[in-house]
A = this chain, B = another copy of it.
Amino acid sequence: MGVMRLGVVETRVMDLEESLRYYTQVVGLQLTGREGNRAYLKAWDEEDHHSVVLVESDRPGLEHMAFKVRFQDDLDKFEKSIEQYGIKVNRVSKGARMAEGQAIEFKLPTGHIMQLYNEIEKVGNGLKLNPDPWPDNLKGMAPPNLDHLLLTGDDIQSVTDFMTRVLDFHISEQVVSVDGEQLIGTFLFRTNSPHDIAFIKGPDSKLHHFAFHLDNWNEVLRAADLLTKNDIALDIGPTRHGLTRGTTVYFFDPSGNRNEVFSGGYVPCADFTPITWTEDQLGKAIFYLERQLNERFVTALT
């Protein structure tokens, strides 16, 4: 039983048409559905109906994120354990969004809305019978899949406690104050990747970025080239994170939501000894090569 992976990120965008152009042509996601003020997208190697939902709104930001659990029964178990932990849980009905089954929804100690779900329509990736390693007609950055997201909040200790004790996430990395007393950031995983979700100290309920996976450092450069070719705002990169060792480019969707393409990093299991960064090394932890944060890193949140 348990959480398998980050399955869906629902993001508010201010102009759905413009955002769709960006997410389909530049990022290179596939549009799989549209209904009302929402558009549904998937990356090319994903089998489920969608991993990104764009919802038109008057402001950017994260509407909710959803992690996929292995079994439908997991929803009952998590409902119980989350409620026991003291967090209220709601049931979301099947069909609240296109192609999705029932889910449970709750608010993290950092104010973010999280859902857990198991049922979602599979549309497939077309690569299941004597397949080639990659399909034709890929567009843009063409990430194979959604990777992780980073959120800000005031109480990193509490949200980490919840994520690890109730949802059984593992800590890959943490940033602590120099005296070791305060937790400033935690990177958490369920898959064997350096992070499926991460939290850093900042205003509650805010999105720092969500990220797509790329295969390698050459793809990261190609993604960065595409930003300039398409006149999309670059935040930083190509560079390497100290945290996760991954290589990266940060950039912004037309509504100001930060996106990332991410590649590399190690392969942790549940017995991974967490890596600790001290706050005085935060620059290097975030941007290993630059060794300092740019101002936008802490201010550009949605």
**A interface vs B, CB < 8 Å?**
4-5, 45, 47, 68, 70, 122, 124, 127-134, 136, 144-145, 191-193, 213, 215-218, 221, 224-225, 227-229, 234, 237-240, 242, 245, 247, 264, 266-267, 269-278, 281, 284-285, 288-291
Contact = CB atoms under 8 A, between A and B. Distances in A.
Contacts of A136: 229
Contacts of A269: 4-5, 68, 70, 191
Q: How many copies does the complex hold?
A: 4
Contacts of A266: 45, 144
A148 B276 CA distance: 29
Contacts of A264: 215
| Main SS class of interface, A | loop
B68 A281 contact: no
Given A242-B133, A289-B225, A128 B193 contact: no
Contact of A276 (B128, B144, B216): B128
A267 B291 CA distance: 30
Given A133-B245, A221-B240, 11 more contacts: A4-B271, A68-B269, A128-B275, A129-B276, A129-B278, A130-B276, A131-B242, A132-B228, A216-B217, A225-B289, A228-B289
Contact of A145 (B47, B245, B267, B271): B267
A268 B293 CA distance: 33
A43 B92 CA distance: 46
Given A192-B191, A266-B144, A229 B68 contact: no
A289 B224 contact: yes
Given A128-B276, A191-B192, A273-B47, A224 B240 contact: yes
A238 B239 CA distance: 6
A180 to B, nearest CB: 11
Given A132-B229, A133-B240, A225-B134, A124 B217 contact: no
A264 to B, nearest CB: 7
B278 A130 contact: yes
B240 A289 contact: no
Contact of A217 (B4, B193, B221): B221
Contacts of A274: 128
B267 A128 contact: no
